[in-house]
């Protein structure tokens, strides 16, 4: 798994590529925590290059959403979600917890 | 049929998914179905590593996977702590963000992704999980 972080004026875009499972989810959590520790709470997760995500990854997303939405300071939105991952997110009841955009450009516009 | 033993280490999840994924593809399951089978197997093995073998990286997970007559069967066996899957609470999907539990999500997904799940557990023989899924369009 690889993450590429880009900082914009109003938000950060984090590209998540590869596979997120119990082995790699801690690395993703760490990256997202560091961004929040820097006081950045408006996050776009660009999932264009995401091949696979298990519940370990979903938990990392949930924890980050909780952090970002606290005190109404921001939120995590998802962009370009691959169909299979979206279906799994729906099964897990996660699509109600995140705004989902067609692509990162539209998601950045949200902020 | 493909069979293999893996040590209880999250690093092995990639190889575990590949094992069942290859059987599913060869049997003609669609890409979506193959992904579901890989995900369910991943969730099961992640639970074994984290809970059944907690603190035992030398624990062994036995996996066998076979497909026949439009159905795939994944059998996962371990000798870790006894575990009763029926006692895992279902996550409440209607709860709001701040109250949403994270425990039980893996087991919940397994039941959603596969057609049937059977589980047996004893001190003598360990834990055995059997999951099956039928092709949606058997040829």
The answer to whether the beta carbons of residues B65 and B45 sit under 8 Å apart is no
Residue A19, classed as helix, strand or coil, is strand
Question: Quick one: closest CA in A to B48, which residue?
Answer: A22
Encoding tokens for residue B5?
Answer: 């033993």
pLDDT of residue B93: 76
**B89 or A65, which is more confident?**
A65
pLDDT of residue B71: 97
User: Across residues A13-22, what is the average pLDDT?
Assistant: 98
What stretches in chain B show pLDDT beneath 50? 139
pLDDT of residue B137: 64
The angle, 0 to 180 degrees and rounded to 10, between the axes of the packed helices A83-91 and B105-113 is: 110
Confidence grade of residue A83 (pLDDT, cut at 50, 70, 90)? very high
User: What burial class does residue B6 get, using C-beta atoms within 10 Å of its C-beta: 0-12 exposed, 13-18 middle, 19+ buried?
Assistant: buried
The answer to whether the beta carbons of residues A105 and A67 sit under 8 Å apart is no
B31-51 burial string, b = 16+ CB within 10 Å, else e? Answer: eebbbbbbbbbbbbbbbbbbe
> Which of B97, B99, B108, B110 to mutate against chain A (most A CBs within 10 Å)?
B97
The answer to whether the beta carbons of residues B19 and B63 sit under 8 Å apart is yes
User: Across residues A71-92, what is the average pLDDT?
Assistant: 96
pLDDT of residue A53: 98
The tens digit of pLDDT for each residue in B33-65 reads 999 999 999 999 999 999 999 978 899 999 999
pLDDT of residue A23: 97
Report the complex ipTM: 0.94
- With CB atoms and an 8 Å threshold, state whether A21 touches B13: yes
Encoding tokens for residue B26?
Answer: 């060869």
- Is A51's Cβ below 8 Å from some Cβ in B? no
DSSP 8-state class, residue A37: H
pLDDT of residue B138: 52
The per-residue pLDDT of chain A, averaged, comes to 96
User: What burial class does residue A57 get, using C-beta atoms within 10 Å of its C-beta: 0-12 exposed, 13-18 middle, 19+ buried?
Assistant: buried
User: Across residues A63-67, what is the average pLDDT?
Assistant: 96
Q: How far apart are CA A16 and CA A48, in angstroms?
A: 8
């Amino acid at each position: 798994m690889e993450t590429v972080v880009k900082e914009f004026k109003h938000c950060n875009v984090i590209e998540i590529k590869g596979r997120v499972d119990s082995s790699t989810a801690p690395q993703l959590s760490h990256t997202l925590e560091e961004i929040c520790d820097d006081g950045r709470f408006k996050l776009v997760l660009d999932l264009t290059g995401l091949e696979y995500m298990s519940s370990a990854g979903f938990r990392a997303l949930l924890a980050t959403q909780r952090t970002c939405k606290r005190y109404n300071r921001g939120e995590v939105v998802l962009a370009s979600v691959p169909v299979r991952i979206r279906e799994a997110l729906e099964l897990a009841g996660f699509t109600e917890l995140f705004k989902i955009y067609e692509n990162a450009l539209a998601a950045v516009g949200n902020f | 049929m493909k069979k293999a033993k893996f040590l209880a280490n999250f690093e092995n999840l990639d190889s575990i998914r590949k094992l069942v994924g290859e059987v599913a593809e060869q049997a003609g399951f669609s890409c979506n179905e193959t992904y579901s089978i890989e995900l369910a197997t991943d969730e099961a093995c992640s639970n074994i590593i984290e809970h059944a073998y907690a603190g035992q990286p030398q624990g062994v997970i036995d996996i066998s996977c076979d497909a026949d007559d439009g159905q795939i069967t994944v059998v996962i066996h371990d000798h870790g702590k006894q575990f009763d899957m029926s006692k895992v609470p279902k996550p409440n999907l209607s709860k709001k963000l701040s109250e949403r539990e994270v425990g039980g999500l893996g087991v919940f997904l397994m039941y959603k992704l596969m057609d049937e799940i059977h589980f047996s557990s004893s001190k003598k023989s360990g834990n055995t999980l059997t999951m099956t899924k039928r092709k949606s369009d058997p040829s």
